[in-house]
Amino acid sequence: MPTGLVRYQQAGHFHFVTFSCYQRRPYLGTITARESFERSLETMRTRYDFVIAGYVVMPEHVHLLVSEPKQAVLAKALQALKLSVTVQQRRRPFWQARYYDFNVFTQHKRNEKIQYMHKNPVIRGLVSEPGAWPWSSYRHYATSTRYIVEIESEITAARRSRAAAETHVSEARRGAPDVEEI
């Protein structure tokens, strides 16, 4: 580990994580590669039980805003994610060995990082507006729609609460006596 690099994990914070393709090559430069990354990200989210608040898949790097996993340390979950993507691709090596990790512990900083990720494709000149880059969490925040990767937000929490309430009402109705039984 380089001198002076300290990771603050298992602190209950969100983490703004960046990792790059080997030598910053555009290995994620195709639709197929970016969608493959998204599928792997969703698989690892469920396997390691962490929350994704935002992400963007760029041609040569990735930004994530994630919670600490419940099933392992963050480094292990990221290693599994990178390995999952690598085995689906032909290029070796696929990733740079390390990743950048910034602890995010305020809502203000969380919002700042999400906006940064969503603007990244625009700043790089890949699209004219964030909604035109489908490989990010932008569409979730803009349309409340779930795509490949489940994003945890107020929208998701409200959807989950409505579903729980509907389930509760449905179960209550099933347990209620029929009119004919009275």
Express each pLDDT in 165-177 by its tens digit. 776 556 666 665 5
Please state the pTM of the whole predicted model: 0.83
Q: How far apart are CA 27 and CA 57, in angstroms?
A: 11
Whole-number average pLDDT of the chain = 88
5: pLDDT confidence band, cut at 50, 70 and 90? low
Query: What are 153's two structure tokens?
Result: 């937000």
Q: DSSP character for 136?
A: B
Q: How far apart are CA 182 and CA 1, in angstroms?
A: 73
pLDDT given for residue 179 in this prediction: 46
pLDDT given for residue 1 in this prediction: 43
CB 18 within 8 A of CB 100: yes
Q: Phi then psi for 56, rounded to 5 degrees?
A: -150, 135
Q: How far apart are CA 130 and CA 138, in angstroms?
A: 7
List of domains in the chain: 14-176 (3.30.70.1290)
**Crossing angle for the helix pair 31-48 and 74-88, to the nearest 10 degrees:** 140
Find tokens 């009119």 and name the residue. Answer: 179
pLDDT given for residue 155 in this prediction: 72
- 146-159 pLDDT, tens digit per residue, is 889 999 887 776 77
pLDDT given for residue 153 in this prediction: 80
Query: What are 67's two structure tokens?
Result: 């919670």
Query: What are 127's two structure tokens?
Result: 């699209």
